[in-house]
Amino acid sequence: MDERGAVMNDEREGPVKVGLRDPLRVTMLALLVGLGVEVLFHGHPPGISFPLWASIALTALFAAARLERVRPAGGAYALALLILILASLMAMRLEPMGVFLAVASSLSLFGLLVRSFRRGRIVDCGWLDFGLALIWVPLEAWIRPWLPLRAAGRQLFGERGTRSKAMALLRGVLLAVPFLVLFTALLASADLVFGDRVEAALRFLDLERLADWVGRGLVVVVSGTFALGAMAVALREREARRSAEHKPLIAPFLGAIEAAVVLAMVDLLFAAFVIVQFTYLFGGRANIHAAGYTYAEYARRGFGELVAVAVLSLALIYALAVVGRSEGRGGRKVFKGLATLLVLLMGTILASSLKRLLLYESAYGFTRLRTYTHVAIFWMAALFLAFLVLLHVGQMRRFALAVALVALGFTLNLNLMNVDAFIVHHNASRLADGGDLDVHYLATLSEDAVPALVELARRAPAPVQDELLPQLACWRRQLRERVARLSWQATHLSRERAMAELDSLEGVLQSYYPRRDRHGLWEVLVQGESRLCDRQDWRAGLD
């Protein structure tokens, strides 16, 4: 063993650099991560299991670094903390978009942590660094574990242990197994008596349980091997190199005049659109009616298209900034001026999109898609502002980091605001102001909405209660049956809180009788009348 890592001596291949001081202990830590995957996820819906697994994986990585005497980069601790925060959201929210973004973000940050664990500053990450973290790191994690595994085997069994007769015998048995399975199946099919003997032997061996244990073992081994590869990537020595973002991926080739013409023409188009917006959308109902449209018709169209225009426009400016040649101080000033004007016009277009969305929400209420768009508009505005600042200070190479931070901000925003409860509260406010309420839509939201729905059920008018309470009774029955069947790994804060809130209405809900009809659909009896439940949990009550 040298200062750079363990070295295997192979008589046929010569010295092979492994890159780990203690491959056996690092392999044991990786198998612990794999065991965590099997225990926490195999056969269990996700819940508290995900933040627990993230904690195990991070602890194993930092413990391996201590064993290998590797000092993590300064940003590694901040990334680890952010991963734990995002992973914990999995046990707090059930709204699908927020959960998906939280899980995807935490796994993406795991990749970035592996790539930058030993060297690298997160603030210097560029597009190539993020791309490698998302794409190359998972591939490299399957490439890197094999040499450490061989070194761990030699460390465990000795230098000549892997070529001993016992290991050769074990390898022979493993190679023979698939042939034995195939030939046994064919012979059992060819002879009925032999088939009966084979069936009796399989019953004695409890093959189903054996297959289950083999499957679980494979989960541990495969997951542990992947974890070992990721650790090897994170811990291996990297040569000092300039970050990819210090040299552009594409050499500038577009002249300053061409770039200025493109920006100027787009500016003129957007300016014309903004004039129309101030005349009609921001001008009030009278101008819209004079143009032959109702206010609702005008407002409910176009906010999706305007968001797309804003995103594409930002991509256009960034592309021109990257591929455009810098031709003197005057050319740079013209480009920055035209780009600034375009960003300001885009800000007006975003305001127009938000105005349309607000009008649409006031007329028809909030849904998940409208809420996502509503929140995204503000984060897009923050991204435009960041782009403008980076353009004027000459730090466009950090735009990738700005995009990543905005994406993380959007993810945290959705989860912390509780989208489904937000929808219930704002639609209840519309009801108080004389609007209508779609109880059937609210009953299809996740358990995140239950506390707000219980609050609404307590103070809503009688007609709304007549619709809402049977749906809550049905939800309570389904949720109670499902919680009784879940393991501790699936424990979820949102589900537990929803159950407690629904139980607080037990005195009111006991007059409703949820059940399954002959087709397996959930229905609820209300004064002898059968109503179909809007929520159909196919897992509840089924073996």
- Token pair for residue 376? 């995204």
Confirm if 340 and 264 have CB atoms less than 8 A apart: no
What is the pLDDT at residue 160? 55
Which of 170-179, 264-273, 315-324 is predicted least confidently? 170-179
2 pLDDT tier (thresholds 50, 70, 90): very low
Q: What is the mean pLDDT of residues 506-515?
A: 88
What is the pLDDT at residue 243? 45
Q: Does the pLDDT of residue 9 top 50, yes or no?
A: no
**Closest by Cα among 292, 279, 407 to 348:** 279
Residue that wins the pLDDT comparison between 424 and 177: 424
Q: How far apart are the first and last CA of the chain?
A: 56
Q: Does the pLDDT of residue 15 top 70, yes or no?
A: no
pLDDT, tens only, 442-491: 999 999 999 999 999 999 898 899 999 999 999 999 999 888 888 889 99
| Angstrom distance (rounded) from CA 372 to CA 351 | 16
Instruction: Provide the mean pLDDT of the chain.
Output: 80
pLDDT, tens only, 161-218: 555 566 667 667 767 777 777 877 788 778 777 777 777 776 766 656 767 777 788 8
| Angstrom distance (rounded) from CA 220 to CA 201 | 28
Q: What is the DSSP string of 102-144?
A: HHHHHHHHHHHHHHHSSS--GGG--HHHHHIIIIIHHHHHHHS
- Return the number of other C-beta atoms located less than 10 Å from residue 416's C-beta: 12
